[in-house]
Each structure stands twice: as structure tokens, then as C-alpha cells.
């Protein structure tokens, strides 16, 4: 039985043949920027091996063979193989290039690839990291190697630091690389495990898979990019990073067949088994230096890197009490997360509020990008220029502090307490009464025809239809008269005053139960109704100033308006008022209400 099974297996191996040979060459992209890598992949099907050139010569392009991978597939008792040879193309300058066809030799026969075209632009672009699938990425299948020497290790890992010394707060990009011999099949984990004391770690980028030749052996490499930020000075220990993997490793022949197969020179890896491994990098060290205290600017807020700054303002013309937005954009490379807001210079004539901020990354780890700060500002006096801006940072490449400043920008902003612009009086509603209905025409008597053909007639005044119709007309006429009367009364000064009083009383009554986050909005609504103030910015403050209220009460009302402006313009709003603060405001408004009723 044992020998019969072996015979059938060898017969199957003899019957399996490679599929017809085929060669395809293609670029991962036909467009690139100077310095941006592009892959050229030559795929050979139906062959166990091929001879390809190690480099390709094209003026303006650097083209080198990076590695090879092999995949096997079996269908209908026929085995097919696919070889992939990957070249890395790095453009040296812009232009349109033609990569000529080249020879590929397979088992003594020479095949020729097709020519390919590549367009290179001058502006370098940040490469986008490919999205990693939710499941674990799969390594190319194939028999795993049995050698474990330094020159033929089946897998290993390394941690690459961009520099060996850094300042506290400086971003240090790192790469975690996990190498697997291209003959190994398997899967790797979605994210590595990495961290330690004395530094913070940025979010990892998605994995990038490529091929690379190491010591004349082909490897599949999974690369994860991140960055660390030291938080204290001294020698910093970077512990090992690890990644889980599930690999196909050499196994033994089925029980009872091992002795038989030992007599045949079968390929290694014909029998494999799954093995879970944890791949680790070697620990490293980095020297961390504290930021110097000498020449440290007073407004330095922790930014470490290399930055530029730009400002803009919108709108360029603002009415009294209307805010303008001063936008400050800080661009470059560095610790954007630890960056504080720039300082405003010469803002004495402005009412300023804390800025909002938004970061836009230009790479996968947030090392390069821009951070935009938006300051809401309102003019205290008429202004023709915005405040200037100052931003200080520490440049680790020079070991010195740098202060950037921008000049004020032209703007036409009116003061917030200016008198409101004259407004046209509200148009009086149209007067007049509806036209009197004309005399009704005398109806002709109806003749009711019965179903059996007989008929009779009666006077219209005593018919039900007549009575219902006239009653409906009377009710409609009465409703029209009532509506027009109410409109005329509402349009009168007395009606408008009573309506405002009713709305103001309602607004005051809901203050105790209003949402704390909208409390000062309700206060503003009440004062606007009670003082009959226009909706233009600054008009309510002007109304308070021109009233006969006591000076102390005016001051209290102005403070309420300032709290309302803070809740409206300050980034993130203000702290919600406490119950005691709300009770105090309601008591003051009741005092104002009573004074205004006199």
C-alpha cells in the first residue's frame, strides 16, 4: 500500500507540466515626479527561471533590479509558475522618457519586452501610502528556505532611526522593516508593537510591501513608518519592536512515507506546516539634548523643527461690531502636535479671542504639513490694519531659536461701540378695507326633479342650501374683518409695543430653564426685544449707552454682551455659566425689566 501511494504520487509529478511561457512588462505608474520611485515589473509565466539584466541604461533615469519573487499554482493536475522581477526607477530630472525594450532569456530562448513611456514632472510629490487590508497581508507562496545562516536567514527585522541624537521635543522619523525570504509563504500582522519610556510614538503608517536583494538573497520587506518624540534629556533606550507573523515552514512527510521519500531528491518545502512567530528588532539608543535656555524667546511655545509662516485676513471690510478672521498658516517639518499658537503684535485696539487650529499632514506620519490658526478679532476703535503676528521655534539643524514675524495686513474695520447705521423705518402695512360686496343677483327658483318624474318647487329663502350658503358667507366676511382688524392693530405702535413686551417677557421667563450652552444667546435675544434694537452688530451696545438706565446697570448689561461675544467668537466657546452666575444674571435682568416698565 505504501509503495502504491508513492507510485501514484510520482506519476502525478511526472504528469504535471509547466504552462506555456509568457512575458509581460509594465510600470506601476506612467507619471512621476523627480526623485519619486516607480516600479517596473517583468512577469514571466511558465518557466522555472529567467536571465534578466541587472540594470537598464536610460539617460535621466536610474534603473536597478531590486528583487525577484516566485509563485506556483496547480490547476487540473497541471502546475504553473509565475516569476516577478522588480526594477526600481528613480527619475533624475523632468521630461518624457522612453524605456526601450530589452532581452529576457528563458531556457536558451530569447524574448523581448515592449517599450514603455514615463512622464516626469519637476515638482516632487509626497507618495501616498497604500492602504493595508483589514486581514493580514499575505507573503508570496512557495517552498521556504531551510538555511538559517546569516546570509540566508528566512526572516529578520530592523529598526532604522533617522538620526542618533536629538533635542527634547524634536520629531525623529523611524522605520520598522520586517524581512521575509521570498520563498516563504505566510501572513504578517496589521501593526507592529512598539513603545517605551521617555518618548512618545506617532501613529503608524499603513504597511508598504516591496522586494529587496540582501546578501544575494531575495526578500519581501514590509515597512512601517512612524516617528518618536523624546520628552526628557539623556541617553534614551529604544526597546525592541515586534510583529506577529504566521508562516509556512518546512515539515515532514506524512507518517509512513518518510523513509520512501528520503530515497528521492524531492524539492525542499514540498511538505510544510504553519508556525506562529514573533519577529523582533534590536534595541537601540539615542542621545537626547535639552533645549538651550540662552536666547530663548518669551513667546516660544514648544515648536521644534523648521517652519515658515503666512497670514491672511477675511473679510477686508467689517461693519461696527462685526468680527474679522486673521488666518495664520505655519508650514514645514516638526512637532505640530506640540506647537502652540503664534502671538499677535499690536493688538491693543482689537478685542481678540483664542484661535481655532487645524492641521493638514503632507505625509503618512504627520512630520510634514501645515497648521492653520484662525483668530476672531473685533475692532475696539476704527482700524485700518490688523495686528502683526510673531512665531518662535527651535531649529535643531542649527541649534538656535528662530523668530518669524509678519506685518499687519490692511483692513477697514469699524469700532464695535459705534452708533448703528440709520435704518429705514418699517413700511406701514397697507391700509384700507376690502371692497364691499356688490348686490346679490336674484336667484331663480330651483326645481327639484324627483326620481319618479314628478316635481315641485318652494321659495328659496326657506331652503336649507340657501341658509347654509348665506351663513358660510357671513362667517367668512366676519373672519376677513377680524383678520384685517388684527393686522391693523399689530401694525400700530401700541400693537408692536405690546407684542415686544410679550416676546420679551417670554424670553425672560425661559432663562431659568435655558440650556447653559445657549444661556447668553437667550440673554441677547431678551435685550434685543426689550430695547427694540436693530440686528446690526454693535447696535444693542449703542442702545444701552443711549438709554436712561443707571450707570451700574449699564455696566452689568455690557458685561453680559461681552460674555455673549466670547461664547460666539472664541474657539471652543466659553465655560458654561454656573447656576449662581445664571441666578445673578436673571436678577439683574429683572431689575432692568422693572426699571424699563416705569
Q: Is the pLDDT of residue 308 over 80?
A: yes
Q: Is the dihedral of CA 497, 498, 502, 505 positive or negative?
A: positive
Average of per-residue pLDDT across 173-201: 87
**Inter-residue long-range contacts of 352-360, CB under 8 Å, 24+ positions, other chains counted:** 352/376, 352/377, 352/387, 353/377, 353/566, 353/569, 353/570, 353/571, 354/570, 354/571, 354/572, 355/328, 355/571, 356/571, 356/572, 357/571
**Cβ atoms of 330 and 373 closer than 8 Å:** yes
- Cell triple for 209: 510591501
The pLDDT value given to residue 131:
33
- Cell triple for 158: 530592523
The CA distance from 389 to 469, in Å, is 78
The pLDDT value given to residue 444:
39
Average of per-residue pLDDT across 578-587: 85
In angstroms, how far is CA 302 from the centroid of its own chain?
24
Report the percentage of the chain scoring pLDDT > 70: 71
Other CB atoms within 10 Å distance of the CB of residue 451: 5
435 compared with 319, residue with greater pLDDT: 319
24 compared with 308, residue with greater pLDDT: 308
The CA distance from 286 to 289, in Å, is 10
The pLDDT value given to residue 138:
41
Q: Is the pLDDT of residue 497 over 70?
A: no
Which of 237-246, 447-456, 497-506, 568-577 has the highest average model confidence (pLDDT)? 237-246
The pLDDT value given to residue 430:
41
The CA distance from 490 to 498, in Å, is 9
Element holding 78 (H helix, E strand): strand 78-91
* pLDDT single digits (tens) 10-51: 444 444 444 456 788 888 788 888 888 888 888 887 777 788
* pLDDT single digits (tens) 514-555: 777 788 888 888 888 777 777 676 778 888 888 888 888 888
Of 121, 117, 103, which Cα lies nearest the Cα of 40?
A: 117
Of 588, 526, 529, which Cα lies nearest the Cα of 554?
A: 588
The CA distance from 286 to 455, in Å, is 116
* pLDDT single digits (tens) 248-277: 765 655 555 455 445 444 444 455 677 888
Of 299, 313, 305, 293, which Cα lies nearest the Cα of 405?
A: 299
Q: Look at strands 317-318 and 410-413 and give their pairing.
A: parallel
**No. of H helices and E strands in the chain?**
8, 35
The pLDDT value given to residue 399:
94
Query: What are residue 594's phi and psi, to 5 degrees?
Result: -65, -40
**Cβ atoms of 235 and 199 closer than 8 Å:** no
Q: Is the pLDDT of residue 593 over 60?
A: yes
Q: Is the pLDDT of residue 421 over 70?
A: no
Q: Is the pLDDT of residue 278 over 80?
A: yes
The CA distance from 57 to 26, in Å, is 17
The pLDDT value given to residue 340:
92
**Cβ atoms of 353 and 344 closer than 8 Å:** no
133-152 burial string, b = 16+ CB within 10 Å, else e?
eeeebebbbbbbbeeeeeee
> Residue written as cell 537626547?
288
> Residue written as cell 509529478?
13
The CA distance from 252 to 205, in Å, is 39
Other CB atoms within 10 Å distance of the CB of residue 182: 24
- Of the chain, the end-to-end C-alpha distance in Å amounts to 116
3-state secondary structure at position 382: coil
Of 178, 179, 208, 213, which Cα lies nearest the Cα of 85?
A: 213
The CA distance from 57 to 159, in Å, is 33
- Cell triple for 475: 362667517
* Angle, helices 579-597/551-569, rounded to nearest 10 degrees: 130
If pLDDT is split at 50, 70 and 90, which confidence band does 360 have? very high
Taking only Cα atoms into account, the Rg of the chain, rounded to an integer number of angstroms, comes to 42
The pLDDT value given to residue 496:
66
The CA distance from 496 to 291, in Å, is 67
- Cell triple for 432: 384700507
- Cell triple for 555: 455696566
Element holding 74 (H helix, E strand): strand 61-75
How far CA 128 is from CA of 28, 136, 173, 225, 597, in Å, comes to 13, 20, 17, 12, 68
The CA distance from 200 to 230, in Å, is 7
* pLDDT single digits (tens) 119-166: 998 754 433 333 333 333 444 443 333 333 344 678 899 999 989 999
The CA distance from 307 to 359, in Å, is 14
- Cell triple for 444: 331663480
Average of per-residue pLDDT across 312-339: 93
Amino acid at each position: 500500500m505504501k509503495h502504491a501511494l508513492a507510485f501514484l504520487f510520482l506519476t502525478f509529478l511526472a504528469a504535471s507540466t509547466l504552462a506555456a511561457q509568457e512575458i509581460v512588462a509594465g510600470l506601476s505608474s506612467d507619471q512621476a515626479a523627480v526623485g519619486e520611485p516607480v516600479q517596473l515589473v517583468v512577469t514571466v509565466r511558465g518557466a522555472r527561471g529567467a536571465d534578466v539584466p541587472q540594470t537598464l541604461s536610460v539617460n535621466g533615469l536610474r534603473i536597478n533590479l531590486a528583487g525577484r519573487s516566485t509563485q506556483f499554482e496547480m490547476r487540473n493536475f497541471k502546475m504553473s509558475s509565475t516569476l516577478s522581477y522588480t526594477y526600481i526607477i528613480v527619475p533624475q530630472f523632468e521630461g518624457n522618457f522612453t524605456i526601450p525594450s530589452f532581452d529576457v532569456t528563458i531556457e536558451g530562448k530569447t524574448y523581448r519586452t515592449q517599450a514603455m513611456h514615463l512622464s516626469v514632472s519637476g515638482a516632487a510629490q509626497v507618495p501616498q501610502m497604500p492602504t493595508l487590508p483589514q486581514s493580514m497581508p499575505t507573503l508570496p507562496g512557495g517552498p521556504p528556505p531551510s538555511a538559517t545562516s546569516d546570509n540566508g536567514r528566512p526572516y529578520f527585522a530592523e529598526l532604522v532611526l533617522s538620526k542618533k541624537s536629538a533635542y527634547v521635543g524634536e520629531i525623529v522619523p523611524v522605520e520598522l522593516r520586517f524581512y521575509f525570504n521570498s520563498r516563504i509563504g505566510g501572513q504578517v500582522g496589521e501593526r507592529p508593537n512598539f513603545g517605551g519610556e521617555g518618548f512618545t510614538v506617532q501613529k503608524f503608517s499603513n504597511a508598504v510591501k516591496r522586494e529587496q536583494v540582501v546578501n544575494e538573497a531575495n526578500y519581501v520587506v514590509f515597512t512601517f513608518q512612524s516617528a518618536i518624540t523624546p520628552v526628557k534629556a539623556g541617553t534614551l533606550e529604544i526597546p525592541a519592536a515586534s510583529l506577529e507573523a504566521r508562516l509556512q515552514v518546512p515539515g515532514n512527510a506524512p507518517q509512513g512515507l518518510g523513509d520512501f521519500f528520503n530515497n528521492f531528491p524531492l524539492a525542499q518545502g514540498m511538505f510544510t506546516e504553519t508556525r506562529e512567530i514573533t519577529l523582533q528588532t534590536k534595541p537601540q539608543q539615542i542621545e537626547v539634548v535639552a533645549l538651550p535656555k540662552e536666547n530663548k524667546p518669551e513667546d516660544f511655545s514648544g515648536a521644534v523643527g523648521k517652519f515658515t509662516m503666512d497670514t491672511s485676513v477675511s473679510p477686508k471690510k467689517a461693519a461696527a461690531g462685526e468680527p474679522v478672521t486673521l488666518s495664520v498658516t505655519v508650514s514645514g517639518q516638526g512637532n505640530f502636535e506640540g506647537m502652540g499658537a503664534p502671538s499677535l503684535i499690536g493688538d491693543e485696539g482689537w478685542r481678540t479671542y483664542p484661535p481655532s487650529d487645524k492641521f493638514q499632514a503632507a505625509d503618512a506620519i504627520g512630520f510634514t504639513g501645515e497648521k492653520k490658526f484662525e483668530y476672531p478679532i473685533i475692532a475696539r476703535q476704527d482700524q485700518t490694519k490688523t495686528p502683526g503676528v510673531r512665531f518662535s521655534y527651535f531649529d535643531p539643524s542649527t541649534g538656535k531659536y528662530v523668530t518669524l514675524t509678519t506685518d499687519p495686513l490692511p483692513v477697514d474695520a469699524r469700532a464695535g461701540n459705534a452708533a448703528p447705521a440709520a435704518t429705514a423705518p418699517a413700511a406701514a402695512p397697507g391700509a384700507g378695507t376690502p371692497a364691499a360686496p356688490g348686490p346679490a343677483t336674484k336667484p331663480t327658483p330651483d326645481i327639484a326633479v324627483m326620481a319618479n318624474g314628478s316635481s315641485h318647487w318652494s321659495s328659496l329663502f326657506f331652503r336649507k342650501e340657501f341658509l347654509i350658503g348665506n351663513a358660510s358667507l357671513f362667517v367668512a366676511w366676519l373672519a376677513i374683518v377680524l383678520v384685517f382688524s388684527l393686522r391693523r392693530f399689530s401694525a400700530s405702535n401700541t400693537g408692536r409695543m405690546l407684542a415686544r413686551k410679550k416676546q420679551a417677557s417670554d424670553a425672560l421667563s425661559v432663562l431659568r430653564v435655558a440650556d447653559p450652552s445657549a444661556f447668553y444667546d437667550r440673554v441677547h435675544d431678551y435685550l434685543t426685544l426689550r430695547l427694540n434694537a436693530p440686528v446690526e452688530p454693535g447696535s444693542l451696545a449703542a442702545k444701552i449707552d443711549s438709554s436712561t438706565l443707571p450707570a451700574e446697570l449699564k455696566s452689568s448689561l455690557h458685561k453680559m454682551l461681552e460674555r455673549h461675544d466670547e461664547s460666539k467668537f472664541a474657539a471652543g466657546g466659553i465655560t458654561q455659566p454656573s447656576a449662581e452666575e445664571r441666578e445673578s444674571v436673571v436678577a439683574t435682568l429683572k431689575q432692568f425689566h422693572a426699571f424699563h416698565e416705569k
